[in-house]
Amino acid sequence: MKRYVVIGLGNFGASVAERLHEMGHDVSALDIDRDKVERVAPTLRTAVAGDGTNPEVLDRIGAAEADAAIVSTGDDIPASVLTALALRDLGVGEIHVKVISDLHARILEKLGVATTIFPEREAALLLAKRVESRAILNFVELGEGFSAQEMAVPSRWVGRSLRELELPRRYNIAVIAVHDFLTGAITPIPDPDAPLKESDTLLVAGADGHLEKVAQLT
């Protein structure tokens, strides 16, 4: 079990806090809006109404002892920056911040936050990929021109093994995991000799151009 603090309880922050709690972690949450606090209070160990830019308030909810902090203050850029600074001053080593623009992200990256999260952009990229190809189920941009995506197994690959398909040589992609969506089982180091099933999906990584060619096979 790890300890997390979540500052900002809009849709994003509340969802993160509740999910971390469901995963068995110790979660403390803070928001300046008392109504938002009251909505999540029944499910979390600590939920407090207060100003996240105030180090004393953060210290009272145990931020100094947290393994990580998640900051989601909506469109209030100064509040997110000041909160990140206060968390850093308290010694929180891992700070993740939801951002609303590239400039917002650049400012926080200069402060040394671990991750800047742009949910709207990530959702837009995933939707665009799904619209472009129904074979793509999930999509994560890893870097410029490089991605990881979950895709359905093309019908011509069903019954064949990864060793037989030789995907790194033939398509310049790597299979990271195999996911059987019927059982929910995920195999992070797939057996290269196991035949692929119709119920399998593949988590693959590679250059965007190579992944697009593979997606067209379905």
Taken in order of first residue, the domains within the chain and their CATH numbers are 3-117 (3.40.50.720), 122-215 (3.30.70.1450)
Summarize the confidence of residues 12-38 as an average pLDDT. 93
Predicted TM-score (pTM) of the model is 0.64
Percentage of residues of the chain with pLDDT beyond 70: 89
Residues 69-91 as b or e (16 or more Cβ within 10 Å = b): bbbbbeeebebbbbbbbbbbebe
Higher pLDDT, 3 or 125: 3
Mean predicted lDDT score pLDDT of the chain: 86
Confidence at 150, pLDDT banded by 50, 70, 90: confident
Q: Whole-angstrom Cα distance, residue 77 to residue 138?
A: 29
Summarize the confidence of residues 20-41 as an average pLDDT. 93
pLDDT in tens, 133-148: 555 556 566 667 787 8
